[in-house]
Amino acid sequence: MRCWWAIRIATSSGSTGSPRRHPGLEEAETLAKIEQRLYRWHCGCSHQKILAAIAPAFRADPEGIFGAGESIRVQCPRCAAAYHLTREAMEAYLAHTHKGGA
């Protein structure tokens, strides 16, 4: 894959125009890729972190969180990953953290 540099051409008003390739640049200069960078974004959310985020609300009002159901669907606010939390998992998490674990 070739990498072309864009050159901004100043307009008569002094502002810059849209990026354009310089005509004849590839004939006048030797163009080569300088480096390649790979970017990766990772949210870092996990089932445990979602449980920790919901735990205070569950402690205050379990019925308000789960209602009559046994599970809820929670979506990570950063990456939109979906997590299904059960009442049983939340209670086990709270029992574990109350004992001084995680």
The CATH number that applies at residue 84 is 3.90.1280.10
74-101 pLDDT tens trace: 999 999 999 999 999 999 999 998 775 5
In a domain, 93, yes or no: yes
Is beta strand 16-20 parallel, antiparallel or unpaired with respect to 71-75?
unpaired
In a domain, 94, yes or no: yes
| pTM metric for this prediction | 0.57
Distance CA 16, CA 54 (A): 50
In a domain, 34, yes or no: no
pLDDT for 38 equals 86
33-81 pLDDT tens trace: 888 888 888 899 999 999 999 999 999 999 999 999 999 999 999 999 9
Residue with tokens 């390649």: 36
Q: Which DSSP letter does residue 70 get?
A: S
In a domain, 75, yes or no: yes
Is pLDDT at 17 greater than 80 in this prediction? no
In a domain, 89, yes or no: yes
Q: Are 58 and 94 in contact (CB under 8 A)?
A: yes
The number of distinct structural domains making up the chain is 1
Parent domain of 83:
47-98
In a domain, 39, yes or no: no
Beta strands in the chain (DSSP E): 7-10, 16-20, 71-75, 82-86
In a domain, 64, yes or no: yes
Distance CA 82, CA 66 (A): 16
pLDDT for 94 equals 94
In a domain, 6, yes or no: no
